[in-house]
Chain A
Amino acid sequence: MPQQYDTVVIGGGHNGLVAAAYLARGGMKTLVLERRHVLGGAAVTEEVFPGFRFSVASYVVSLLRPEIIRDLQLPRHGLQILPLDGTFTPLDKDYLWRTDDHGQSMREIRRWNAADAEAYEEYGLLMVEMARFIKPILGIVPLDPQRPDPREAMPLAGLLRTFSKLPRRQQTAFVQLMTMSAADFLDQWFETDPLKATMSASGIIGTFLGVRSPGTAYVLLHHYMGEIDGAFRAWGIPKDGTGGISNAIAQAARSFGAEIRTEAPVVRIEVRDGRATGVVLESGEEIHATTVLASTDAKVTFLDLLEAGTLDRDFEDGVRRFRFRGSSGKVNLALDGLPDFTCLPGPGEHLRGAISMSPSIDYMEGAYDDAKAGSFSRRPYVDVVIPTLVDPRMAPPGKHIMSCFVQYAPYDLAEGTWDEQREPFGDAVVDVLAERAPNIRDLILHRQVLTPLDIERTLGLTEGNIFQGELTLEQLFFSRPVPGYARFRTPVRDLWLCGSSAHPGGGIMGAPGRIAALEVLRSRRTETVRAWRPRWRRNGEGGAGEAGTALPAEAQA
């Protein structure tokens, strides 16, 4: 006799766990099923080499929604975020080093260009205003322009009202942020190339776009949206790595009564008469549930886990059109000591923050051009962090770990396979580091190279896209993942999306998991009301349009 749950969550990534926690908190008998032996999905800490523990994939946090931290009391469950101070951009002879000490940053930028220093001040203020304005979007359910639901239109209308009241200057900035390229946007303010390049980098993370591609400016805001204990713009690394976050969320979920099973890969979502009724595990075990939430990405959920023919063509085409195009890789290094940068020798505070290999806009764009041509960047953009400087317990005494986020590494290579290109890719990264810190070569004890293919294989992220689908204009808000199905509901009744494939997208934010869970709880409350509506109306529920309503079993070939 299969077990019966109210809700089953597929995937124990941070979004799945957040959803489970909220569901359990709402009184649902909830089960989380994780394929791997560890929880966290891309937010995971593993001992890759004896004594060396890495945030294998995702490595910094800044966007984790504060309401989640509060609602789930994550600090009580062990969440601790250590500040990551500043950004250091090494160059051939010089460097650009900004820290959280505003005065220091201003002096440093003035050293490069006095006008830029002034602009930097103005820019910072403006961006904080922008972040304040945009924040609410991360918390709302995207309405379906075709079936506007007044309850969902409300917050949007509010947003419009706020917008119309903003000063002209901020309105302009908002429009530009939504439409411009990061480079063009920053060109308006600054002249210092390394400054522009380093700032623009945040615009391309996880996307197959260059710093000159329209639509990359928006992500500049994320730097200013990050909140830790309410402080704007503080990036940090979680104690014990990003797995620390996942474990804290899991703790919270368990404390609310959720069950979590690892090494329990789901192979199929059971659908009867157009409703999800449960899941089947690889072991053949069946688990019944009134509601199924998938934190897996849109392709895995709709094309792999659902039986072919469950969805109608239009919707399936929509899913096939949803673009992943993984573009980033990760190189994790176990070091015997600290790198020594020729432009600023010796250990020091500059190593405690992010170290950004982004000397110029053209360098960044060149890296992108390589990827467009179907090869990994010969001279890639690398974002380096040395967690052991703030969290020494990640490595044996005296030793260090170095996390290198790399762009670009296109999932589809024009020549060869990633299995052949893996090490050359790793070499390219080390070469770029060695240009500025020659001693790095002798320090490397172990090296782990993650290509988009590896990310897909181990983490189950389609095409290795770390955001479960590109964050491009046409894949945001009411078009994410498929126009008309941006409200976490799917054409299959009682099957919901709660991962980054849904609004508002990727990053260790937890927003999709939270909003999805709250929507499920709300729809459960209105269940009784719905039961009195005529059947055709019921099928209309959840935005399942005529294009998308799942075929009843008898109608299937």
Chain B
Amino acid sequence: MTERRYDAIVVGGGHNGLVCAAYLAKAGLRALVLEKREHVGGGLATSEIAPGARVPALAHTVGRFRASVARDLDLYSHGLRLVQPHVRAVSLRPGAAPITLWGDPDQTASELARTSRHDAAAWLELDRRVRAHAGVLDRLMSLTPPDPASPALADVLGALRVGLRYRGLGTTDAREFLRVLPMPIADLLEDHFDTDGLRAAVATRGMRFTSLGPRSAGSTQVMLADSAGNDGGLAGETVYARGGPGALADALASAARSHGAEIRTSAEVAAIREADGRTTGVALASGAQIGADVVVGGVDPKRLLLGLIDPEALGPQLGWQAGNLRLDGVTAKVNLALSDLPRFTGLEGDADRDRLRGRILVAPDVGYLDRAADAAKYGCTSGEPWLEATIPSLVDPLLVDGGAKAGIRHVMSVLLQAAPYKLRDGDWDACRDELGDLAIRTLETVAPGIGALVTGRQVLTPIDLERDYGFSGGHPFHGEPSLDQWFAWRPLLGWARYRMPLEGLYLCGAGAHPGGGVTGTPGRNAAREIVADWRRRN
């Protein structure tokens, strides 16, 4: 028999699914979240990789989370605590001095000035411009993209809001905005900086979680989007959730519940049921069926359209397009439990400890990034991958409070690129450990002896991201954030308004505008549209 107690079912309890459910419940809908895994949060998870050692499973910073959503859902009274160190990132380069990017642009500039006055001045100028440009993008991100066929009044108003912000840039910055948006980030940075290491440190922000290289058009847009709606600027955000990223997921879940939403974990949805073009509910893997007029996909568009909907209802054209969505990931994750704090070349002093609280980059030069991305094009993992690591235990010692007797003093979270989802030869199950070794080998180049400190590790390859987290193609962003899957054509042109081909079916995940990253914006925007439709109907 079918339960019928819900107005809306959200498939997938990732942060966007939770945000969406919370907003729906807040608006008075009876919302149910169904999560396949035993914990909610999806990519926002804290996992215990060794007794008493907890580490960010996938995403390690949460600074992009939209402030207005945190306010609307009152997350701070649901236990969310954020930590923002002064340092944003430090780039470690074998045989060269580290480059530190601080939260305060002037501090960064004054340190850069020691090696290049020009770069110091350029830093301040570009940081200012990035903040201005990101401001325009932020307006764009909070919009529901217009319908290319029939722009409505709301679209016009939205366009005006963006337009005003754009005009506010002033002639020069506005012209720059249109010029840099599609630009390869390496070109943009070469226009401004002399120091290659500095270029590389910033360029990683245009490549993180994507298969774009530093010389790929559109990588600048990825960097700007990363700074949109937060205090990132040119250095980028580095904000930790106390207790690990999972704590943000828990706060979201508790907020959703407080508004009356229901959340079920270990509840895998097998299919979305429909009758004559309308969703009628979902069928669980357990065989149980739950009815609801509205079904919202927090999963990626490929899984939603090709995995959960009857192909008949979808139609061949859309099926073909969904099959061609580009969402093969190149990101792997290696999490380490360490018996002590590693000694990083050039940062031995205790005074330098502060510099390790942000993102630790192994990305010595632009050519290095280029080669790392190139390898993935041919289905190989680069022998010299670039890394973005954090040591969250430095800012949040409680993560390892239980690890003392196991001799664990720190945990390290390491993003590794590029590791392509589709390997030309071999498969990920066979070379999972190789990948872990590669990560440590690469870390050794900047932290000699770190290998000896590793007492436990967890390796997540793209295939694991697909299996354990449900990211098709192992892409944490639910699809490449490149210009061809952007704004009014994300995930597909004509389906960017969160409404999917069945009546009552919506997409609220990172596969929808404005895309991936821990922002909560797609979930918030989708909820806005769902509630509007709901009110129109009832």
Q: A168-B149, A172-B489, A188-B324 are in contact. Are A473 and B217 (CB under 8 A)?
A: yes
Listed stretches B35-43, B246-254, B478-486; interface member: B478-486
Closest A residue, CB atoms, query B169: A146
Q: Is A314 an interface residue (CB 8 A)?
A: yes
Q: Do most interface residues of chain A lie in helix, strand or loop, or is the interface mixed?
A: helix
Cα distance A365–B489 in the bound complex, in angstroms:
27
Cα distance A170–B281 in the bound complex, in angstroms:
33
Q: Is A369 an interface residue (CB 8 A)?
A: yes
Cα distance A179–B187 in the bound complex, in angstroms:
17
Cα distance A168–B501 in the bound complex, in angstroms:
14
Q: How many contacts A-B (CB < 8 Å)?
A: 92
0/1 per residue, B133-167, Cβ < 8 Å to A? 00000000000000011110000000000000000
- Let me know if B171 and A163 touch, CB within 8 A: no
Closest A residue, CB atoms, query B493: A172
Cα distance A410–B187 in the bound complex, in angstroms:
16
Q: Is A547 an interface residue (CB 8 A)?
A: yes
Q: Is A226 an interface residue (CB 8 A)?
A: no
Contacts of B176 in A (CB 8 A): 483
Cα distance A212–B489 in the bound complex, in angstroms:
20
Q: Tell which of A172, A323, A474 touches B321, judged by Cβ atoms closer than 8 Å.
A: A172
Closest A residue, CB atoms, query B483: A179
- Let me know if B172 and A547 touch, CB within 8 A: yes
- Let me know if A215 and B494 touch, CB within 8 A: no
Q: Is B439 an interface residue (CB 8 A)?
A: no
Q: Within the complex, what minimum Cβ distance (angstroms) separates A375 from chain B?
A: 13
- Let me know if A184 and B484 touch, CB within 8 A: yes
Cα distance A452–B486 in the bound complex, in angstroms:
36
- Let me know if B171 and A146 touch, CB within 8 A: yes
Closest B residue, CB atoms, query A147: B171
Q: Is B377 an interface residue (CB 8 A)?
A: yes
- Let me know if A474 and B191 touch, CB within 8 A: no
Q: Is B183 an interface residue (CB 8 A)?
A: yes
Q: Within the complex, what minimum Cβ distance (angstroms) separates B118 from chain A?
A: 13
Contacts of A323 in B (CB 8 A): 187
Q: Is A539 an interface residue (CB 8 A)?
A: no
Q: Within the complex, what minimum Cβ distance (angstroms) separates A482 from chain B?
A: 9
- Let me know if B172 and A372 touch, CB within 8 A: no
Cα distance A146–B172 in the bound complex, in angstroms:
9
Contacts of B319 in A (CB 8 A): none
Closest B residue, CB atoms, query A545: B171
Contacts of A180 in B (CB 8 A): 484
0/1 per residue, A367-398, Cβ < 8 Å to B? 00100110000000000000000000000000
Q: For residues 145 through 190 of chain A, which have their beta carbon under 8 Å from a beta carbon of chain B?
A: 145-146, 163-164, 168-169, 171-172, 175-176, 178-180, 184, 187-188
Q: Within the complex, what minimum Cβ distance (angstroms) separates A7 from chain B?
A: 29
Count, chain B residues at interface, CB 8 A: 39
Closest A residue, CB atoms, query B147: A164
Q: Tell which of B148, B317, B324, B482 touches A179, judged by Cβ atoms closer than 8 Å.
A: B482
Q: Is A541 an interface residue (CB 8 A)?
A: no
Closest B residue, CB atoms, query A477: B178
Q: A365-B377, A372-B370, A546-B171 are in contact. Are A474 and B180 (CB under 8 A)?
A: yes
Q: A214-B484, A323-B187 are in contact. Are A145 and B174 (CB under 8 A)?
A: yes
- Let me know if B326 and A213 touch, CB within 8 A: no
0/1 per residue, B372-392, Cβ < 8 Å to A? 001001100000000000000
- Let me know if B178 and A145 touch, CB within 8 A: yes
Q: Is B208 an interface residue (CB 8 A)?
A: no
- Let me know if B182 and A484 touch, CB within 8 A: no
0/1 per residue, B309-339, Cβ < 8 Å to A? 0000000010001001010000000000000
Q: For residues 199 through 214 of chain A, which have their beta carbon under 8 Å from a beta carbon of chain B?
A: 212-214
Q: Within the complex, what minimum Cβ distance (angstroms) separates B460 from chain A?
A: 26
B171, B370, B378, B494, most chain A CB atoms within 10 A: B171
0/1 per residue, B484-521, Cβ < 8 Å to A? 10100100111000000000000000000000000000
Q: A214-B482, A478-B178, A479-B179 are in contact. Are A171 and B493 (CB under 8 A)?
A: yes
0/1 per residue, B340-383, Cβ < 8 Å to A? 00000000000000000000000000010010001001100000
Cα distance A145–B177 in the bound complex, in angstroms:
11
Q: Is B117 an interface residue (CB 8 A)?
A: no
- Let me know if B492 and A172 touch, CB within 8 A: yes
Q: For residues 397 through 416 of chain B, which have their beta carbon under 8 Å from a beta carbon of chain A?
A: none
Q: Is B229 an interface residue (CB 8 A)?
A: no
0/1 per residue, A459-487, Cβ < 8 Å to B? 00000000000001110001100011000
Cα distance A314–B125 in the bound complex, in angstroms:
14
Q: Tell which of A187, A213, A479, A547 touches B217, judged by Cβ atoms closer than 8 Å.
A: A213
Contacts of A369 in B (CB 8 A): 374
Cα distance A5–B50 in the bound complex, in angstroms:
84
Q: Is B445 an interface residue (CB 8 A)?
A: no
Closest A residue, CB atoms, query B488: A175
Q: Tell which of B191, B378, B493 touches A362, judged by Cβ atoms closer than 8 Å.
A: B378
Contacts of B179 in A (CB 8 A): 474, 479, 483
Contacts of B148 in A (CB 8 A): 163-164, 171
Q: Is B442 an interface residue (CB 8 A)?
A: no
- Let me know if A179 and B172 touch, CB within 8 A: no
Contacts of A484 in B (CB 8 A): 171, 175
Q: Is B88 an interface residue (CB 8 A)?
A: no
- Let me know if A184 and B370 touch, CB within 8 A: no
Q: Within the complex, what minimum Cβ distance (angstroms) separates B288 from chain A?
A: 37
0/1 per residue, B455-486, Cβ < 8 Å to A? 00000000000000000000000000011101
- Let me know if B217 and A172 touch, CB within 8 A: no
Q: For residues 44 through 66 of chain A, which have their beta carbon under 8 Å from a beta carbon of chain B?
A: none
Q: Within the complex, what minimum Cβ distance (angstroms) separates A183 from chain B?
A: 9
Closest A residue, CB atoms, query B378: A362
Cα distance A546–B170 in the bound complex, in angstroms:
11
Cα distance A118–B172 in the bound complex, in angstroms:
49
Q: Is B215 an interface residue (CB 8 A)?
A: yes
Q: A residues near B, CB below 8 A?
A: 145-146, 163-164, 168-169, 171-172, 175-176, 178-180, 184, 187-188, 212-215, 314, 321, 323, 362, 365, 369, 372-373, 472-474, 478-479, 483-484, 545-547
Q: B residues near A, CB below 8 A?
A: 148-151, 171-172, 174-176, 178-183, 187, 191, 212, 215-218, 317, 321, 324, 326, 367, 370, 374, 377-378, 482-484, 486, 489, 492-494
Starting from the known contacts A145-B175, A474-B181, A545-B171, 5 additional A-B residue pairs (CB-CB under 8 Å) come to: A164-B151, A171-B494, A213-B215, A214-B218, A473-B183
9 closest residue pairs by CB, A with B: A483-B175, A473-B182, A179-B483, A179-B484, A214-B217, A215-B217, A180-B484, A172-B493, A188-B324
Query: What are 15 sample pairs from A and B whose C-beta atoms fall under 8 A apart?
Result: A169-B317, A172-B493, A176-B484, A179-B218, A184-B326, A213-B217, A214-B212, A215-B182, A365-B377, A369-B374, A473-B182, A473-B183, A474-B180, A474-B182, A545-B171
